[in-house]
């Protein structure tokens, strides 16, 4: 199984910062950045779990829910990557690369949000 600690740690850190952010900071773009990240993480998780099905788009639940959306989407992706069985001999290196890319996405979103 793949160790997804780096992803879960990065997701939890960003979600905590979003929860602690004042409304003004969320309105200035941090919430939008978080929602965009949550949607991308959710899309990736769905593609890992059901590669032949079109992913659904995570709805906008409002700026005060975005931290929870980031958490749910990030943890879903971590679990999907951690437990995914290699399809048709797909090497574990592909999942490892996907994990590294997801961690980079979370860190980049945090930087753009000013955290």
* pTM score over 0.75: yes
What's the pLDDT tens digit per position in 33-66? 999 999 999 999 999 999 999 999 999 999 999 9
| Contact (CB, 8 A) for 106 and 44 | no
Backbone angles phi, psi at 2, to 5 degrees: -80, 135
Instruction: Give me the mean pLDDT over the 17-30 stretch.
Output: 97
Find the mean pLDDT for residues 68-80.
Answer: 97
The lowest-confidence range among 18-22, 84-88, 93-97 is: 84-88
For the cut 50, the answer to whether the pLDDT of residue 89 exceeds it is: no
For residues 84 and 97, the answer to whether their CB atoms sit within 8 Å is no
Q: Is 62 exposed, middle or buried (0-12, 13-18, 19+ CB in 10 A)?
A: exposed
Beta strand residue intervals within the chain, DSSP E: none
């Amino acid at each position: 199984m793949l160790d997804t600690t780096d992803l879960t740690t990065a997701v939890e850190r960003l979600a905590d910062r979003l929860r602690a952010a004042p409304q003004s900071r969320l309105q200035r773009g941090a919430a939008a950045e978080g929602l965009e990240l949550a949607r991308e993480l959710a899309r990736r998780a769905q593609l890992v779990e059901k590669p032949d099905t079109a992913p659904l788009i995570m709805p906008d639940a409002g700026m005060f829910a975005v931290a929870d959306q980031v958490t749910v989407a990030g943890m879903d992706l971590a679990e999907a990557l951690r437990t995914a069985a290699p399809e048709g001999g797909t090497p574990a290196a592909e999942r490892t690369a996907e994990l590294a890319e997801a961690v980079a996405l979370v860190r980049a979103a945090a930087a753009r949000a000013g955290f």
